[in-house]
Amino acid sequence: MTLQNEGNPSELNGLAADVQRGFDESGKLPDRLLRYAFARERALVNLAQISIRIKDYYDVQEVQLQVNILGDGLKCLPSPFIRRLEKNKPRLTQCGDYLVFKEYYTVGKVRLTAANFCMVHLLCPLCAIRRGSKTLEAYVKRFEVIKAENPTLKLSMLTLTVKNGDDLAERFRHLKLSITKLMEWRRKTRDGKAGYHSEFAKIAGLVGSIEITKDGGQGEIKETGWHPHAHIMVLHSERFEYVDLQSEWLKITGDSHVLNVTAAKHPEDPAKDFLEVFKYALKFSDLTPAQNLEAYEVMHGKNLLFSAGLFRGVEIPESQLDEELDDLPYIELLYKYLPGSGYNLSRHSDSETCKQGARYENDKEKPKNTRNNKADISKFLQRVKTG
């Protein structure tokens, strides 16, 4: 596989492909590997920026003097952020260096069953793809249950924004506090508390996430600076009064009446509507590596996902791997990442060999008593190698 002239898939397309129906079909494995390879490439770019940031920190004269006085073994000198970068650097280095798939060739499915993940989704697009797909899958399942029990509820997307600014930490905090206040007004209105009347109380359930971009003044509003905003999927049966929503949001934020409400566009496939909510918190392709690191410094450890009402209590799987298919024969495929080349097939073995704890490098080493169909295996491996 080569990455030259392939075109760089967008973040949204990368996540969309991982959650669309039939994403695990055998014929889509080459495209999946290509998406993951591009994500891995951007993670390595961010890794280089981390190295620069750490070096620049220690190159500062005052820090260097302390290192010289106290010795190289000093553990408490670096700032908490630098210590975090030093801790995450080896994890990011190894993340995605190999991927193991099981190809269940009797049903034409491929599942990711082992990998090295760093779990630093604000710096690693590969982990962001896997984390986003798992979150989306869990909430779509909940939505389908809710819809079956409440067929009159409508699904819409609500987007909330605050004024742009140069101080990301301040703007991010401002948006978070504004959302908290909105949720409080909604809840107290629904509980019938005196003195509260919120248009947002028409929302029976919501799930949303915060996204950060940086504008250069080319957009419609011609603003520059950091642009934090929230995408929220809402369930409601009553029609919203748009002017009242705007007025209330301005009252909450003090600096923005800008919001948008649109009806869901894909009732037959709700995952397509939920994509906007569960895509990456950072648009990697729109940020420089330095900006990416700045955003990570502010947003690390912050809860970027929120929910209320009928969407409360959804559990997100901790594992970023796919669910395996039990009691089906498979071929295990090991792919290793090579810079500039992407993921290349390094080794393959069938399910019987895997159960015996052995591995083989080519067809001649396969055990003769395998129950797998060798013609199917050979055909699939040829398709993978040439795909």
Q: Give the C-alpha separation, 289 to 294, whole Å.
A: 9
Phi, psi for residue 270 in degrees, rounded to 5: -60, -20
CA distance 113 to 321: 6
Count of C-beta atoms within a 10 Å radius of residue 31: 13
Within 8 A by CB and 6+ apart from 353, the residues are 359, 360, 366, 367, 370
Residues of the chain with pLDDT > 90: what percent? Answer: 67
The token pair at 333 is 């495929």
**Distance between CA atoms of residues 233 and 263, nearest Å:** 10
Q: Which domains does the chain have, with CATH numbers?
A: 11-118+329-386 (no CATH), 130-309 (3.30.70.60)
**206-235 pLDDT tens trace:** 999 999 999 764 445 557 899 999 999 999
Beta bridge partners of 348: 333
Mark the ranges of the chain whose per-residue pLDDT is less than 70. Answer: 1-22, 61-77, 216-222, 352-353, 355-387
CA distance 376 to 106: 8
CA distance 268 to 314: 22
Is the torsion defined by CA of 169, 172, 175, 179 positive or negative? Answer: negative
The predicted structure's pLDDT at residue 372? 44
- Write down the pLDDT at residue 282: 76
* pLDDT tens digits for range 7-32: 454 554 555 566 666 678 999 999 99
Q: Name the residue among 351, 231, 335 with its Cα closest to residue 279.
A: 231
Report the alpha-carbon distance of residue 46 to residue 41 in Å, rounded. Answer: 9
Residue 246's pLDDT is 97
Measure the CA–CA gap between 112 and 94, rounded to whole angstroms. Answer: 17
Q: Please state the pTM of the whole predicted model.
A: 0.82
Q: What is the pLDDT of residue 366?
A: 38
